[in-house]
């Protein structure tokens, strides 16, 4: 029997209009006060929260509750191998920000803070874990602003007439959706997609990220000079932006968060998967490998060199990244710490084991506690579809906003453009 919210058993569909469950609020507050006895007895706070829920259907977290809840959600995220660092998560309380322009400005700031910009010299950046928590859902009310994007930084995919794709095939449909709203990309392999922010009255609007907020790494190899000629690169901050943060029964639909990359996420998935950038045949050809048979293990050999290039390039750029062997050992350290604290650690084996040399890592040879523990992050079906494909049924699309740059040439502007473009 599956566990709701875990692996192949989906969590119950989220009802954005439902009242907050007082029992879930009580469970969260008791956990907080149990782990932080300096806050005093929980009884008085429980009385306040019960009254708020009775009057409005929900309640407002204190800043301390929000910070604790977001960190525990990371601690409970069963698919994340990097949870050893959950206490270091920087929580940005942005619940008062409710306009598309304000949200976009804070998303840019999120990338600036997460990117750790301390100057242009190598090693001057240090990627740090950050979460930006915007307004919570409120029973009976529409969300002030909704973000379509799956991640804050992702690359466009341009579909050719023959069915091939320039860029990332995963986002070909999303690229078509934002193009229909008026976006014009360069048509290159690593064009950063715009953010789409939608409000009940203004409809969806496009916002291009400023260049300084997008930290990218050109990929090269420590031994093969030709690798740089492949023109590959990747962004340094993996900011997930379409998962709902649930804390004590209160849902935060917009709460983008990031850690830092494990190299295999880029080198063994994003750049290697056949339905993504599919670079293994390219690398194998440049290495001169025999690809006539699977028994030559040409895929494995190309995969190792592609991952070496990712790790070496990030380290040379002074940007934080982990290899899968080190991060696996650190995850076992996390399990041991949690056990000493008297807590079980939920983990999904299918996600914890790295996609490269899994059996050579210590996380492979064991079982894990399978549970859906809250607070946590949840991916709702409608949001998942929106992040992959966008929507074509909107008729209230506003003219695209082009912050931090010149307005596009007249030939690139959508026909409906008539109002002033946003300037932040």
State the CATH number of the domain containing residue 227: 3.90.340.10
- Give residue 406's pLDDT: 31
Cα 94 to chain centroid distance, Å, stands at: 18
Count the neighbouring beta carbons within 10 Å of the beta carbon of residue 422: 18
Whether 50 is in a domain gets the answer no
d(CA 356, CA 269): 9
Mean pLDDT of 388-402: 61
- Give residue 63's pLDDT: 98
Question: Could you give the count of Cα atoms lying within 13 Å of 93 in the half-sphere of its Cβ?
Answer: 10
Whether 423 is in a domain gets the answer no
- Give residue 143's pLDDT: 86
What is each CA distance from 4 to 7, 10, 21, 243, 373, in whole angstroms?
A: 8, 5, 17, 17, 10
**What proportion of the chain, given as a percentage, has pLDDT over 70?**
88
Which of the residue ranges 19-28, 92-101, 136-145, 363-372 would you say has the lowest mean pLDDT? 136-145
Q: Which residue has the higher pLDDT, 403 or 326?
A: 326
The three-state secondary structure class of 384 is helix
Whether 167 is in a domain gets the answer yes
Looking at residue 247, the DSSP 8-state letter turns out to be E
Pairing of strands 90-93, 130-133: parallel
- Cα separation of the two ends of the chain: 51
- Per-residue pLDDT band at 422 (split at 50, 70, 90): very low
What is each CA distance from 90 to 66, 74, 114, 170, in whole angstroms?
A: 11, 12, 9, 30
- Per-residue pLDDT band at 296 (split at 50, 70, 90): very high
Mean pLDDT of 68-79: 98
d(CA 233, CA 231): 7
Residue 137: domain span: 57-367+375-409
| pLDDT single digits (tens) 85-142 | 999 999 999 999 999 999 999 999 999 999 986 544 445 578 999 999 999 999 988 8
Say yes or no to pLDDT of 408 above 80. Answer: no
CA-based nearest residue to 211, from 297, 129, 337, 115: 115
| pLDDT single digits (tens) 192-229 | 999 999 999 899 999 999 999 999 999 999 999 999 99
- Give residue 8's pLDDT: 67
Cβ-based neighbours of 54, under 8 Å, separated by 6 or more? none
- Per-residue pLDDT band at 5 (split at 50, 70, 90): low
Whether 405 is in a domain gets the answer yes
Mean pLDDT of 410-417: 30
What is each CA distance from 349 to 86, 112, 138, 218, 344, in whole angstroms?
A: 19, 33, 35, 32, 15
Please report, to the nearest 10 degrees, the dihedral formed by the alpha carbons of residues 380, 269, 260, 173 taken in order: -50
- Per-residue pLDDT band at 83 (split at 50, 70, 90): very high
- Give residue 176's pLDDT: 98
Mean pLDDT of 49-55: 98
Residue 112: in which H helix or E strand, if any? helix 100-114
| Contact criterion met (CB below 8 Å) for 45 and 25 | no
- Per-residue pLDDT band at 404 (split at 50, 70, 90): very low
Say yes or no to pLDDT of 329 above 50. Answer: yes
Please report, to the nearest 10 degrees, the dihedral formed by the alpha carbons of residues 269, 270, 272, 275 taken in order: 100
Active site residue ranges:
80, 83, 260, 265
Cα angle value 97/100/101 (rounded, 5°): 85
* Number of structural domains in the chain: 1
Whether 357 is in a domain gets the answer yes
Say yes or no to pLDDT of 144 above 60. Answer: yes
Whether 302 is in a domain gets the answer yes
- Per-residue pLDDT band at 275 (split at 50, 70, 90): very high
Whether 363 is in a domain gets the answer yes
Whether 180 is in a domain gets the answer yes
Cβ-based neighbours of 50, under 8 Å, separated by 6 or more? 22, 25
| pLDDT single digits (tens) 150-185 | 999 999 999 999 999 999 999 999 999 999 999 999
Mean residue pLDDT of the chain comes to: 90
């Amino acid at each position: 029997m599956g566990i709701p919210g875990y692996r192949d058993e989906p969590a119950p569909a989220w009802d954005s209009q439902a009242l907050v469950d007082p029992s879930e609020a009580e469970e969260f507050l008791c956990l907080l006060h149990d782990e932080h006895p300096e806050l005093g007895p929980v009884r008085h706070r429980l009385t306040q929260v019960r009254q708020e829920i009775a009057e409005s259907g929900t309640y407002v977290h204190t800043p301390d509750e929000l910070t604790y809840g977001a960190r525990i959600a990371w601690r409970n995220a069963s698919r994340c191998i990097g949870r050893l660092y959950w206490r270091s998560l920087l929580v940005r309380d942005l619940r008062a920000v409710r306009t598309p322009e304000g949200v976009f400005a804070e998303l840019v700031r999120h990338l600036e803070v997460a990117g750790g910009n301390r100057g242009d010299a190598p090693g001057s950046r240090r990627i740090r874990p950050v979460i930006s928590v915007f307004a919570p859902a409120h029973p009976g009310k529409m969300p002030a602003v909704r973000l379509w994007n799956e991640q804050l930084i992702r690359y466009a995919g341009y579909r050719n007439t023959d069915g091939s794709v320039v860029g990332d095939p995963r986002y070909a449909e999303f690229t078509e959706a934002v193009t229909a709203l008026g976006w014009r990309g360069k048509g290159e392999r690593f064009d950063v997609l715009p953010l789409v922010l939608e409000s009940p009255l203004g409809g969806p609007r496009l916002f291009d990220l400023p260049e300084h907020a997008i930290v990218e790494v050109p990929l090269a190899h420590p031994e093969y000079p030709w690798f740089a000629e492949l023109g590959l690169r990747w962004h340094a901050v993996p900011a997930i932006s379409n998962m709902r943060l649930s804390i004590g029964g209160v849902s935060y639909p917009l709460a983008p968060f990031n850690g830092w990359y494990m190299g295999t996420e880029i080198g063994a998935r994003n750049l290697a998967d056949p339905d993504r950038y599919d670079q293994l045949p390219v690398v194998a050809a440049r290495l001169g490998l025999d690809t006539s048979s699977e028994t030559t293990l040409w895929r494995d050999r190309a995969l190792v060199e592609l991952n070496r290039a990712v790790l070496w390039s990030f380290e040379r750029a002074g940007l934080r990244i982990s290899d899968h062997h080190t991060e696996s050992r650190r995850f076992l350290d996390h399990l041991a710490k949690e056990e000493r604290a008297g807590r079980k650690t939920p983990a999904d084996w299918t996600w914890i084991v790295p996609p490269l040399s899994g059996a050579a890592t210590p996380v492979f040879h064991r079982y894990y506690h399978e549970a859906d523990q809250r607070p946590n992050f949840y991916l709702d079906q409608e949001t998942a579809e929106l992040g992959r494909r966008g929507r074509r049924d909107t008729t209230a699309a506003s003219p695209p906003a082009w912050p931090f740059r010149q307005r596009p040439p007249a030939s690139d502007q959508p026909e409906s453009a008539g109002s002033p473009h946003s300037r932040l």
